Structure 1
Amino acid sequence: MSAHLPVSRRGLLKIGAGVAATAALAAEPAAAAEGRFELTAPSTSLLWRKPLYDETVLQSFAFDNVNKHIYAVQVKNGSGSSAAGHLCVTKLSLTGAILGHMYLMSFGHGVQIGVEPSGTSAYLWTETEAKVIDGEIRGTKLARFKFVNGQTLTPTSSALTKYTLVDGAVNTTCTVDPSTNRLVTRYWDGSRFRLAAYSLSAVKSGSKEELFDVPQPTGLGTFQGYAAYGNFVYILTGNAYHTTNNPPPGNTYTHSVDLRTGKLVQRARSVAGKSLDYREPEGMGIQIVSGAPRLCLGLASGVEKARLASIFYKTEVI
């Protein structure tokens, strides 16, 4: 594990406009922070080999930066496979202690989620109404619901508010940018994946008007999650270690995509947690610490039926 590079004074000035909105996600969208994360900077460990509520592979995670919690998603124990679309959400402290859980039945694959803090509680944004698409179970709509420890939800639960932002879109997921109060989605339009950004407050008011909508760059690798900060979306790709097909340090890459143009502006290999066994990249998130952002990526490790979750972060902004 490498020590992280401190955020420069120039970087802090650039991100200042974005982090001002973190404690008030219900407010109007903030101006997007300038600059982007330097993907070649070393990574630092936040969580190391922590168990989740169930014992399956971590799929994705997101931060409640107001109440200082992490929400992690995985396939529910006993589902047989991800084909059922049943998910488990684990609420964690920032040190990895399990604080609660929920089950989401027939929601999807859990590729990425978003968190919207609300007072001392949090609302989660996920995919829902799972369907088999090209042999894989994927969500076809987005859902917003309050995290309630011990609750089990289905796509027809009254606790859900569901959204269709792009008519006809399938394989749709989302994340929340804590610096701009934007809901950023990834969806399949029938021919390719696209990335779109919306005002979170506008979406909740019934608007479908996008701020940006660009094609996702192709040829990045196996998609494993994404996060948004300012005018950039960060994408995680890669596969679990394999003795012959993907030996250590593996094929995990992070990518930076400009939401305004759809241009891939940086791609860098990540060797964070390279000593982990299995080591499959899973999910991204933005953590805010003392007003400064961290770009985080998740890694699954451990043996089958006893998987563990690790999170690493970068801090350098250019």
Structure 2
Amino acid sequence: MDRTPGSPLSLSRRGLLRTGAGASLAALGLGLGAQTASAAVPATQRFELTEPSYDLFRSKNTHGARVQQSFAFDWVNKFLFVATKRTGSSESAGDLCINKMDFDGNYLSYMHLDGFGHGVAFAALPSGSGTELWIECAANTGGYGTALAPIDYVGGTTLSSPAGSAAYRPIPGATEYTCSVDPVHQRMIVRYQSSGGKRIAVYPLSAFTTRDFGTPLVDFKQPAIPGTPQGYTLYGSYMYYLTGDAYPGNGTPTGDGNSYITSIDINTGTVKQGPVLTKAGSTLHHREPEGLAVYRTDAGEARLFIGFATGVEGDRRSSIFYKKALV
């Protein structure tokens, strides 16, 4: 959440997943007063958060000098997209830089998004040989997005935040939105602000590919979890929630830090495990937790990826780790 920017994992290009098409859903959204939608999500395995973490990559450069906010995988075209705050922009401007990288962490290109939001979470959906980003937009005075928008990633360009029919608000009355994708079970999770606080809704991915949202599969009030929110994602019937802060002072590694991951059963809206301390990358400088995402390798192994902003001020780097034990 900085306001200023191992051993690599080989992920092959075979065994591609495809975006679900799905049937259109009803046009009406779920009211903010509902606790849980009528349709439950089938129970799945979950990541065991006490098991070790492994390196994807450490200390990789992005386009700007400020820290990453979140990241997302295009699981068909095999690219990683890392969102950072724009160098030179204020915290409240909502200006983001989207960095396109390969799975070894090599920087490939960037896209600037002006007035979109804070970048806590977003999704990268395969679109032919390209990528469609679903990301918050129409930033409010606090710099947080008030809608969601599908954006075709085009390297080297700058895009102003869309408005009107190009900005989507699936939940009537919600004032802030972010989202993250579960590519394995083909669902999208949305975290939104209601009059009663933060809530979570889960949709079939087809609701986003057709732009026809209807009633979410589940909708619940986010349980109280201590710590600074730094990202979330979805795998099956469990949401994963990341909290924590950078190392204090000048960012020199001290102790184990305070980066925690919590799993939440989305059918009950209650905590299943955690918060569990993660020591991934504990020797890295600064080490601010920033972003969660799910990916399944072509060999069929599901992984929960955990991002950290690392490095010195003025030269922040991206570091990403993963957990793979399911129970």
Task: Bin the TM-score by the shorter chain.
Answer: 0.7 to 0.9
- 1:240 alignment counterpart: 246
In structure 2, C-alpha distance between the alignment counterparts of 1:118 and 1:175, rounded to whole Å? 16
Distance in 1, matches of 2:324 and 2:199, equals 27
Q: How does 1:125-274 map to 2 (within 5 A)?
A: 125-132=134-141, 136-156=142-162, 161-203=166-208, 204-243=210-249, 247-267=254-274, 268-274=276-282
TM-score (norm 2): 0.85
**What is the letter of the counterpart of residue 188 of structure 2?**
L
Give the match's secondary structure for 1:202.
Answer: helix
Structure 2 CA distance for aligned equivalents of residues 285 and 143 of structure 1 = 19
CA contact (8 A) 1:176 1:228 kept: yes
Q: May I ask how many residue pairs the two structures share in their alignment?
A: 296
1:77 aligns with 2:94: no
In 2, the alpha carbon distance for the partners of 1:208 and 1:28 equals: 13
CA distance in 2, matches of 1:200, 1:162: 17
Deviations 1:198-256 (A, max 9, x none): 12212434233111101111133110001111111101000011159994311100010
Work out the percentage of aligned pairs sharing the same amino acid.
40
Residue from 95, 98, 105 that aligns with 2:114: 105
Cα distance in 2 for partners of 1:172, 1:264 equals 22
Contact 2:86–2:95 (8 Å) recurs in 1 = yes
Whether the 8 Å contact between 1:72 and 1:90 is mirrored in structure 2 is yes
The 8 Å contact of residues 116 and 145 in structure 2, kept in 1 or not, is answered as yes
1:25 aligns with 2:24: no
Match of 2:52 in 1: 42
Residue 28 of structure 1 and its aligned partner are, at CA, apart by 3.3
Residues 138 and 163, structure 2, Cα contact 8 Å, conserved in 1:
no
Equivalence for 1:18: none
Matched, 1:283 2:291: yes
Counterpart CA distance in 1 for 2:237 and 2:155 is: 34
Q: Distance in 1 between matches of 2:42 and 2:123?
A: 18
Alignment partners' CA distance in 2, 1:114 and 1:33: 23
Give the conservation status (yes or no) of the 8 Å contact 1:257–1:265.
yes
| Aligned partner of residue 83 in structure 1, secondary structure | coil
Aligned amino acid, residue 58 of structure 2: W
Contact 2:69 2:290 in 1 (8 A): yes
Gaps of 5+ in 2: 1-5, 10-14, 24-40
| Contact 1:241–1:248 (CA under 8 A) maintained in structure 2 | no
- RMSD value, Cα: 2.4
Calculate the TM-score normalised by the size of structure 1: 0.87
**Does the 8 Å CA contact 2:149/2:162 hold for their aligned counterparts?**
no
User: CA separation in 1, counterparts of 2:133 and 2:162?
Assistant: 16
Distance in 1 of aligned mates of 2:82 and 2:269: 28
Q: Secondary structure of 2:154's match?
A: coil
Corresponding residue SS for 1:301: strand
Range moving further from structure 2, 34-43 or 213-222: 213-222
| Pair 1:70–1:298, CA change in 2 (3 A) | same
SS at match of 2:92: helix
| Cα offsets for 1:11-39 (capped at 9, x unmatched) | xxxxxxxxxx961113339x857210000
* Residues 72-104 of structure 1: per-residue CA shift (max 9 Å, x gap): 00111111x322110000000001111111110
> In 2 relative to 1, CA 244–151 (structure 1 residues): closer, same or farther, beyond 3 Å?
closer
Local SS of the residue matching 1:117: strand
Q: Shift in Å at residue 137 of structure 1?
A: 1.5
Runs of 4+ in 1 over 6 A off after TM superposition: none
* Equivalence for 1:309: 318
Residues 261-270 or 284-293, more deviating: 284-293
